[in-house]
Amino acid sequence: MRRHRYAALGVTVLVATLVSFNPAWTQDEGPAPVGAPPTIAPEGAPETAPPVPAASPTAARKPRRAAHHAATAGHFDIEEANARIPLSHDTPIYASPSTGAHQLEQGIAGKYIQVTGVTRHWLRVQLKNGATGYVQQKDAHMVKPTDKIFMLTKNAAVRADANKWSKKLSEVHRGHNVHVIGIALNYVKIRMKSGLEGYIPLTALE
């Protein structure tokens, strides 16, 4: 009985000795890192988390980018043209295709204007000083009368006005003759056998 007590006591001393030489055995998370002895907080000390670095005010507030909107003023669809036509009325010539735009000069009835383009309702013109202006189509003699027969070289839509945005009235086909009664910028005015009048591109006759 005494012999068993001494044996148990010897085992207890041996374990205590080994623990004192290897503190990592008391850790549940594995061996301590090499070269860095474990830091053991004194018993009863409060557990504290490592301090979180404060966010930099500059990094916290990113500068807001101003919204970029492409300028739309003055952007409009235009069909190129090249013709000299007379004005039918005295009319303002504007800096852009709007009656609210700045007036560049006054156009005089009977005076010719150099047309360089056409929108749905306006003519783009080049003034003598080199500036670009805009005149309403209704204030110009758009059609130069003529009376000829041409054979079509291409199929073409017949439109209500001399521009690509106007309503399509009919269609004419390659190889057929058309009666041309006028010329308007890049278009010719035709009269069909049915009596219908409209405009087709000059390129349909080339």
Whether residue 150 is found in the same domain as residue 190: yes
pLDDT at residue 206, rounded to an integer: 82
Residue 13 lies in a domain: no
Q: Which of 106, 124, 139 is the last residue in one of the domains?
A: 139
Q: Considering 139, 174, 191, which residue would you say is the last residue of a domain? A: 139
> Does 115 share its domain with 151?
no
Is the residue at 68 inside a domain? Answer: no
- Residue scoring higher pLDDT (117 or 57): 117
CATH number assigned to the domain comprising residue 173: 2.30.30.40
Name the percent of the chain lying above pLDDT 70. Answer: 64
Structural domains counted in the chain: 2
Is position 45 within any domain? no
pLDDT in tens, 88-102: 999 999 999 999 999
Same domain, 134 and 153: no
Adjacent-strand bridge partners of 144? 183
User: At 55, is the pLDDT very low, low, confident or very high (cuts 50, 70, 90)?
Assistant: low
Look at residues 106, 139, 172 and tell me which one is the last residue of a structural domain.
139
Q: Domain for residue 59, yes or no?
A: no
End-to-end alpha carbon distance in the chain: 129
Q: In angstroms, how far is CA 196 from the centroid of its own chain?
A: 41
**DSSP H or E segment with residue 60:** helix 57-60
Residues 87 and 134 in one domain: yes
* CA atoms of 203 and 14, how far apart (whole Å): 111
Percent of the chain with pLDDT over 90: 62
**Is the confidence at residue 165, as pLDDT, over 80?**
yes
DSSP 8: H
Identify the CA nearest to 168 among candidates 150, 180, 181, 155.
155
- Is the predicted pLDDT of residue 168 greater than 80, yes or no? yes
pLDDT band at 76 (very low <50, low <70, confident <90, very high): confident
Query: pLDDT digits over 105-159, tens only?
Result: 999 999 999 999 999 899 999 999 999 999 999 999 999 999 999 999 999 999 9
More confident of the two residues 167 and 49:
167
* Residue 200 falls inside a structural domain: yes
* Cα distance between residue 89 and residue 111, in whole Å: 9
Does residue 5 have a pLDDT over 70? no
pLDDT at 103: 96
What is the 8-class DSSP label of residue 54?
A: P
Give the residue numbers spanning the domain of 156. Answer: 144-205
Average pLDDT on 21-27 reads: 43
Neighbours of 51 (CB within 10 A): 6
pLDDT at 4 over 50: no
Residues 149 and 129 in one domain: no
